[in-house]
Amino acid sequence: MLAMRILQVSDIHGRLKRVEEIVKKAGEVKPDLIVVAGDITHFGDLGDAEEILDKLSETGVQIFFVSGNCDPPEMLSWKPKNKLAENLHAKSIKFGDFVFIGVGGGSGRFGTLTELSEEEFEHILRKFADLPKNSILVSHSPPHGLEVDFTGSKHIGSRAIRRFVEERQPLLMCTGHAHEGRGVVRLGRTVIVNAGPARDGFCAVIDLVDESVSAELSTLY
C-alpha cells in the first residue's frame, strides 16, 4: 500500500509568526512531508528564505518547496544549506512511494520578482513528459480557469500548466498564488489543492493512500 501525509502551505510572504505556527501544526498532524508552494518571502532575498526554511526544519520533517513570484529570481536554481529543504523547481524527485515534480515562479504580469511566460512554463514541463501514475506536481502557479486560480475578479493561473495537468494527469497538484482561490478541485483524475495563504493562517492536510487523495483545508491556529 502506498501512503503519505502532506502538510501543504504556500504564500507565507515572510511572516515569521506564521512559520512558528506551521512548525506547531506539523507537531500536531505529524506529516511525512511539508510542501511549500511558493512565495516563501515577500520581496525578500535568499537570506530571508534560508531563515524561514531553517525554522521549518525544526520539525525534523523533509521539506519540498518551489519559489513564487514574490521570491527572488535566484531562488529558481537555489540550493539551500539546510539538508531537509529541497528545491523542486524543474526537478523530479522520488520520495517514499511517490514522485514529486516542481515548477516555481508566478503566472501573470504584476511587476513582481519572478514571473514566467507561458513559453517558459511549457519549456520546463516538457522534461516531465513521462509521468508515473504516482506523481505529485508542486507549482506556485495554478492551472488557468479554475476556482483555485480565481482572485475574485480574474483568473491568474497558467494555461501551459493547465494543459500539462489535463494531458499528464498527476495524482495530486499542490499550488498557491491566488490567495482568494483557496479550495480543492479536480481536473480529470488530478486533485488540485490551493491551501490558501499561510500568511493569513491557512494550510491543508493531504492524505495519500494508493491512488486515493483526501485533502482537508485547515488553519494554523
- The pLDDT assigned to 2 comes to 81
Top-tier CATH class for 3-219: alpha beta
- Residue 202 is predicted with a pLDDT of 98
84-122: pLDDT as tens digits: 999 999 999 999 999 999 999 999 999 999 999 999 999
Pairwise CA distance, residues 188 & 201, whole Å? 29
- Mean of the pLDDT values across residues 167-186? 98
Three-state helix/strand/coil letters over the chain: CCEEEEEEECCCCCCHHHHHHHHHHHHHHCCCEEEEECCCCCCCCHHHHHHHHHHHHHHCCEEEEECCCCCCHHHHCCCCCCCCEEECECCEEEECCEEEEEECCECCCCCCCCECCHHHHHHHHHHHCCCCCCEEEEECCCECCCHHHECCCCECCEHHHHHHHHHHCCCEEEECCCHHHCEEEEECCEEEEECCCHHHCEEEEEEEECCEEEEEEEECC
205-216 tens-digit pLDDT = 999 999 899 999
% of the chain at pLDDT higher than 70? 100
Antiparallel, parallel or unpaired: β 3-9 and 202-209: antiparallel
Mean pLDDT rounded to a whole number for the chain: 97
pLDDT-based confidence at residue 221 (cuts at 50, 70, 90): confident
Q: What is the pLDDT of residues 149-166, one digit of tens each?
A: 999 999 999 999 999 999
In angstroms, the CA 167 to CA 145 distance is 16
Q: How confident is the model at residue 141 (pLDDT cuts 50, 70, 90)?
A: very high
- Domain positions in the chain are 3-219
Average pLDDT over residues 64-70: 98
Burial 23-58 (b: 16+ CB within 10 A, else e): bebbeeeebbbbbbbbbbbbebeeebbbbbbeebbe
